[in-house]
Amino acid sequence: MMLGVANSTGLNMSLTGFLDFATGLKVGLVEIKMDEPHLLSALSKTKQRRAIRDIVESFNFKYSVHAPYIDINLASMNSVLRKASEKTILRSLEFATNIDAKLVVSHVGRLSRDYPKEMVTQSLKNVISCLRNLANFSKNHGIIFSIENDHKSNDQILAGYPEQLMFLIEKVGCKFTLDVGHANTLARIETFMDMLAEHIVNVHLHDNNGEQDAHLSLGKGKINFSAVLESLGKTEYKGPLVVEVHSSSGLEESVTLLRKTLGKRIDSSGNQHSLRV
Ligand SMILES: [Mn+2]
């Protein structure tokens, strides 16, 4: 398993600043979350895309790409917004090919609580259509496309519970990013591994108390990470473990804690993304 970290908009760091920080943590992988305004511009401007590629290539990390999720909704009933969302994620897949990232993760989106529950069926049809296009593009470009499990929300979630994820993954033919913190707001984390182990290609780690999606440092909430990592080990998962904590001190503490917990099971060589396809 390779240890990684993800940037987040709340950190308010430049890309170079974050990659310098990750270098100090001695992790092998960085998951680039594209929602930072200076990264979003790479989706529409060639010059900016090249500048970011140059920065990324000047560091010695493996990279994965987290497609934008802010304002993005593949489940929108508004086809103009839905198509713009699909296009944004498609551009993120193109960006991944530019920086030689082999894995992209995307959120699925939600149906607003203001719609009647019956509309979930139509919303799911829309989601599946978008995700199939994105999965096909990924397949043609040698990228592993994964969807991430959602957390508890007042809106109608379509990819939160293991059954929902299984349905989408089978319909679309994509892979799964297990977000352990999100899972903890909805069901027993082990249930996700029991049902979806063969599809997991990426794992996000952060803590919470089971209610809010707080992205706390590992150990600051109620998740038993030793137990989670042991269960994950039993599934023979060998992919990235990406710390997705929303503070720089929290990222640092969490990486230290994971090193202690995992010891030799971490691949720090940075040589190869060990992903099952
Ligand atoms: Mn996540």
The CATH number of residue 133's host domain is 3.20.20.150
Compare 197 and 269 and report the one with higher pLDDT.
197
pLDDT at 262: 84
Q: Is residue 275 part of a domain?
A: no
Q: How far is the CA of 240 from the centre of ligand 1 (A)?
A: 13
Nearest Cα neighbor of 277 from 102, 129, 155, 124 is 102
Q: How far apart are CA 163 and CA 207, in angstroms?
A: 23
Q: How far is the CA of 51 from the centre of ligand 1 (A)?
A: 26
Residues 34 and 68 sit within 8 Å (Cβ to Cβ): yes
Give residue 157's domain range: 2-265
Residues 125 and 167 sit within 8 Å (Cβ to Cβ): no
Is the pLDDT reported for residue 277 higher than 70?
no
Mean pLDDT along residues 155-161: 98
Q: Tokens 């519970």, residue?
A: 161
Task: Write out the two tokens for 272.
Answer: 């190869």
Q: Is residue 273 part of a domain?
A: no
Q: How far is the CA of 179 from the centre of ligand 1 (A)?
A: 5
Q: How far is the CA of 111 from the centre of ligand 1 (A)?
A: 19
Q: Is residue 128 part of a domain?
A: yes
Q: How far apart are CA 182 and CA 179, in angstroms?
A: 5
Q: Is residue 271 part of a domain?
A: no
Q: How far is the CA of 106 from the centre of ligand 1 (A)?
A: 9
pLDDT at 268: 54
Q: How far is the CA of 62 from the centre of ligand 1 (A)?
A: 18
Q: How far is the CA of 246 from the centre of ligand 1 (A)?
A: 11
Q: How far is the CA of 79 from the centre of ligand 1 (A)?
A: 26
Q: How far is the CA of 91 from the centre of ligand 1 (A)?
A: 20
Q: How far is the CA of 148 from the centre of ligand 1 (A)?
A: 7
DSSP H or E segment with residue 87: helix 79-98
Is the pLDDT reported for residue 43 higher than 70?
yes
Q: How far is the CA of 181 from the centre of ligand 1 (A)?
A: 8
Q: How far is the CA of 67 from the centre of ligand 1 (A)?
A: 11
Q: Is residue 147 part of a domain?
A: yes
Mean pLDDT along residues 154-177: 98
Q: Tokens 């398993």, residue?
A: 1
Q: Is residue 196 part of a domain?
A: yes
Number of domains in the chain: 1
User: Strand 103-106 vs strand 62-66: parallel, antiparallel, or unpaired?
Assistant: parallel
pLDDT at 273: 42
Mean pLDDT along residues 132-159: 98
Residue-wise burial string across 226-264, b where 16 or more C-beta atoms lie within 10 A, e elsewhere: eebbebbeeeebbbbbbbbbbebebbbbbbebbeebbee
Over the chain, what is the mean pLDDT? Answer: 94
Is the pLDDT reported for residue 49 higher than 90?
yes
